[in-house]
Amino acid sequence: MIQVENLVKTYGDFTAVDDVTFTAEAGRVTGFLGPNGAGKSTTMRVMTGLTPATRGSATVLGTPYEALQNPGRHVGVLLDASAQHAGRTGREVLSLGAMTLGVGEKRVDQMLEVVGLTAKESKRRIRNYSLGMRQRLGLANALLGDPKVLILDEPANGLDPAGIRWMRDLLGTFAAEGGTVLLSSHLLHEIERIADDIVVIGRGKIVASGTKEELLRPSGCLVRSADDETLHRVLSGKGLDVLVLPNGGLQVEAETAAVGQVAAEAGIALVELRGADSQGLEEMFLTLTSDDARQETAA
């Protein structure tokens, strides 16, 4: 389990993370989403002990990361697949990691097989690896100590479709066996497929969190009428939230029966009235972060 409570990180007058609180549960995959500059990477760096918090706390398995004994045996971390020694071979990187963690060379062979790097590829220097190969090596390093928690920032970058599917299956199995996965990714359709829970951050604040089903559940209803302009005015006058749809019609945060009653009382003929469609993750993400995105700012 990962617990972040009232986390604040400031740099001078700039607040990168502003009172962030959320939990990533064991046995589940938690998608951590936000536009560039929203505070995702800063939050993940705090929870992995790379950046000190200004206030608040981030704990992994009930303990701050830096206080864990041999943390790699408890938490697997992949924040930047390119941050690996370019002059070493893949096997050398994993062998050094195995010695540091106190696991045998047999574990290196197992992880190479798990991530799909061949014996020949493992003997190549990392400077000659593609980004996808570096991601696979980074995942092997994260899994090397047989951890209970994985913290991964954009692990699918550079993977081909087969590699993305492989990673999805790998993380799903890890969670199904009781592990905790916190996963940040810009591939929203992949998060939608693999995540059990979703946390969305914008301008350093949590703007939404909950299970995938809760956040993507359809809300309100769609209505079209002979006079949408008048219907909009009447519904708004009743205190209802009304959104004009680009292709005509209105989305109303109310039950269909209530909207139908208002239209009937106003004498407005309805052409269509139905429950709203379930929104996809991309639609939800863009709606929640449209006012929060910061362009060309470090996360």
Lowest mean pLDDT among 47-56, 193-202, 251-260, 278-287: 278-287
SS3 260: helix
Q: What is the pLDDT of residue 291?
A: 62
Q: What is the pTM of this model?
A: 0.79
User: Distance between terminal CA atoms of the chain?
Assistant: 23
Q: What is the pLDDT of residue 247?
A: 75
More confident site: 14 or 220: 14
Determine the average pLDDT of the residues in 40-68.
96
- State the DSSP H helix or E strand holding residue 273, giving kind and residue range, or none if neither: strand 270-275
C-beta neighbour count of 87 within 10 angstroms: 9
Q: What is the pLDDT of residue 298?
A: 40
Q: In this structure, are residues 155 and 190 in contact, taking their beta carbons and an 8 Å threshold?
A: no
What is d(CA 79, CA 109) in angstroms, rounded to the nearest whole number? 23
